[in-house]
Structure formats: structure tokens, C-alpha cells
Amino acid sequence: MRRWVVAWAAAAAVTLGLSGCRTSISLPYAREIDQMSLMQAMAVDAQDGGGVLITASSGGQQGSEGAGTPAAVVYGRGETVSGGVLAAQGAGESYLYFGHVGQLLLGQPLAEQGISAVLEYVLRDVEMRLDTRVYLTRGGQAGQAVAAAAQNGSAADRLEAMEENAGLLPHTMPRTVEQVLEDLARSGSSFVPAVTADGELAADGYGVFKEGALVGWARGEAAYGVNLLLEQVEADVVEVVRSDGTTAAVRVVGAVTSVRPVWRNEELTGLEIACRVQANLIQGEAENLEELEQALARIEAARIRQALNVSQALEADYLQLEQAACLAQPWNKKAIGQQFELPALELSLEVDAQIGRSYDAR
């Protein structure tokens, strides 16, 4: 009996020591949940004199009596993200807990300098999560946008609403820190959804990153093209003008894209990109659908072409075309990796639209 007790106690001690939560004492920290403030959005901006400015915001919490509590915003400055977060800790009334940060906003100036340090902080920090959604504030500081949003709700609430409605927004899609880190590690390029730098935090295309720094934008039609290429379309409404001058509205409900490498004498010369768009007629006469399908295909092809043009112009494979080509022909992976020069590749595009059904009550 006593032997077993000793054995179990020893096993417990060893296991707790392996937990790694603390270096000095093996047990993790105990903190009462009601004595902490849950930060739900964090903004990181570059300061003029160097270093970073951290702006953290809680959500618009509902109090126990149902009254809404305004989002708390705290600031911290430091040479590094860790330093800034530590400084912000001192500014809060209670312990700031970053384990529930769901949105990470990056200011444009910081993005132009590089976001690798910020993403690495998220990767290594014990509280931050890799599934945190990352956003880029276009044309301004992320902290100001977060503070402005906190005046009427919170940045987290606005961005969460946008994420929930992402299917209805065909020109944006949420991206996690993990996805961006994966893209950067794989191809050196990635993209991050952009939002306006005011309190509205409206979707504004994508920022394209190369080697960890912002190098360009995919906005407007190019942003739609990104969603089509990555099959992230659920309810895009496209207005199509017929040859007789009437306008019909179709809802694009899906897109299936394939990328196939093109070889000539064992040399990679281009990529064949095929996109099959599925749509429903939602307004207009259900006649001559073939004409509508052709018109829709032209519109969507133009969008995809713009997204591809951004990629070639910036020499940034932010759409991960190389990986798609490798997945299509895994036996040629090595050759594709060696010969993949995006600007030199001929990108042929074929878009096929299908209008499957309509709601003709007659």
C-alpha cells in the first residue's frame, strides 16, 4: 500500500514537472476568471521613433444586470510586442488576459516594415492563439481604428460580425495567423484581409505580403478574383447585362478552381487555371440562360485575371499557385519547385459558368 502511494506521488511529481507551464514551480498559475479582463482584439502599430504600440480592447460586455459595458481599451508601448503587452498589463485595472484575442489588427506602416515579429509573438506566446484572425488596417494605424470602434461597441464585435457574414461578402475572407504563417513559410507570400482604418472597420480587399512585408494590394475586382480562385464564394450577386439591354441578377453560390501545370519539353511554361462558377438566377427572365452564363463567365474571368495580374506584377505567389500545381501533379513536385518563376509563367484562364436554377413561381 505504502509502496503504491510513494510510486504514485513520484509519478505525479514527475508529470507535473513536465507540464512546462512554469519554469520555477511546476504547477500552472491559478487566476480567478472574474479577476481578469478578457481582451478580444489587439492592434499592433509601428511607432515613429521605433518600437511598437499595442492597443488592446475587450468586447462590449453584457453586465450581470443586462446593461452593456463599454469596451475597455488599453495601450502599451515597447520596443517589442512582448514589451508593449507587458506595458499594457500595467495600464489595466485587472489582469489582462490575451487568451481570448480573436482579432489581431496590424497597422499599414507596421505591415510595410514587416509582420514576422508580430506573428512569431502570437506563435510563441502561451496565451495567444494561432487561430486568431489577422487584419490589416489600410491607410492608417490599427490602434486608432480599434479605439474608434470601441466608442460604439468594440472592434472585436464588428470584426466578428464581418466574419460571420463572410459568406455574404465575396471580396473578403477571414485569415488566421496560422494560415498566414503557413503561407509565408511555404512560398514567402501571403495575403491578409484589409479593413478601413476608421471606426467602421469595413472590408477593403486584401493586402499582399512578400517576405513578411506588405508589398501591394488586391482590391476591388481583384479581391473578388481572390475569393473565386480560393473557392470562397457563397452568395455573390452579379448583375449581368443581356444583349437586349435588360439586366439580370445572378447569385454566385460556388466556385471550383483547378490549377494544372503546363509542360513543354520538360520545362514548366505556364499554368492552366480552370474555374467553374455555379450561380442561380435571382432576378430577370429565365430565358436564354446560355447567354447569361457566357456573360457571367466573362465577368468572373476578368476578376480572376486581375487577381492573377497582382500576383505576377508583385512576383508574389500569395494565391499559392505553386502548391496547387504540385497538388495537381505531385510526381512533378520537385521540378515545379525548381522551375516555378511566376512572372515568366503563362497563366491561361478558363472560366465556365453554370446557372443552375431559378425561382420561377410561374
Partner 1 sequence: MFFEKKRETEVPPHPRREPRIALPLSLENLKRTFCGCVDFACRDVALAGDEARRITLCYLNGMVKMERVSDYVLRPMAQDGALAACPSMARVMEQMEAGALYNLGVERREDMDGAVADLIGGSCLLLFPGESAALSFNVGTEEKRSITPPGSETVLKGARDSFVESIRTNTSMVRRHLKAPELKIGEHIVGRQSLTAVDVLYLEGIANPETAALAAARVEKMDIDALLATGNLEEYIIDRLATPFPLVQYTERPDRFCAGLAEGRVGLLIDGLPLGYLVPGTLGDFLRAPQDKSNNWMVASLLTVLRYVCMLVTLILPAFYVAVVTFHQEMIPTRLALSIIAAKQNVPFVSAVEVIILLVAFEILQEAGLRLPQSIGQTVSIIGGLVVGTAAVEAKIISPAVLIVVAVAGIAGYTMPSQELAGALRIWRFVLVVLGSIGGLFAMMMGIAVLVGHLAGIESFGVAYLTPFAANGGREVEGHPILRQPLPRTKLRPAALKPRNRRNQG
> Residues interacting with partner 1, by CB under 8 A?
1-2, 4, 8, 11-12, 15-16, 19, 21, 27-34, 36, 38, 40, 59, 61-64, 97, 99-100, 102, 127, 129
To partner 1, the closest distance from the beta carbon of 85 in angstroms equals 15
- DSSP assignment letter at 71: P
Question: 10 Å Cβ neighbour count for 253?
Answer: 15
To partner 1, the closest distance from the beta carbon of 18 in angstroms equals 9
| Strand pairing report for 36-46 and 52-58 | antiparallel
Comparison of 130 and 335: residue with beta carbon closer to partner 1:
130
Cell numbers found for residue 111 = 505591415
To partner 1, the closest distance from the beta carbon of 107 in angstroms equals 24
**CA distance linking residue 106 with residue 52, whole number of Å:** 11
To partner 1, the closest distance from the beta carbon of 62 in angstroms equals 6
| Strand pairing report for 213-218 and 236-241 | unpaired
278, 257 contact by CB (below 8 A): no
Helices 321-328, 177-187: crossing angle, 10 deg rounding: 70
To partner 1, the closest distance from the beta carbon of 15 in angstroms equals 6
Comparison of 11 and 241: residue with beta carbon closer to partner 1:
11
Comparison of 62 and 152: residue with beta carbon closer to partner 1:
62
53, 77 contact by CB (below 8 A): yes
Cell numbers found for residue 340 = 516555378
User: Position 239: which residue type?
Assistant: E
Q: How far is CA 182 from CA 307, 336, 337, in A?
A: 20, 19, 17
Sequence-separated (6 or more) residues with CB below 8 Å from residue 225: 218, 303, 304, 305, 306, 307, 308
To partner 1, the closest distance from the beta carbon of 73 in angstroms equals 17
Comparison of 95 and 346: residue with beta carbon closer to partner 1:
95
Comparison of 132 and 320: residue with beta carbon closer to partner 1:
132
Q: How far is CA 162 from the centre of its chain?
A: 12
Comparison of 43 and 299: residue with beta carbon closer to partner 1:
43
HSE-CB at 260 with a 13 A cutoff on CA atoms is: 9
Comparison of 20 and 245: residue with beta carbon closer to partner 1:
20
To partner 1, the closest distance from the beta carbon of 158 in angstroms equals 15
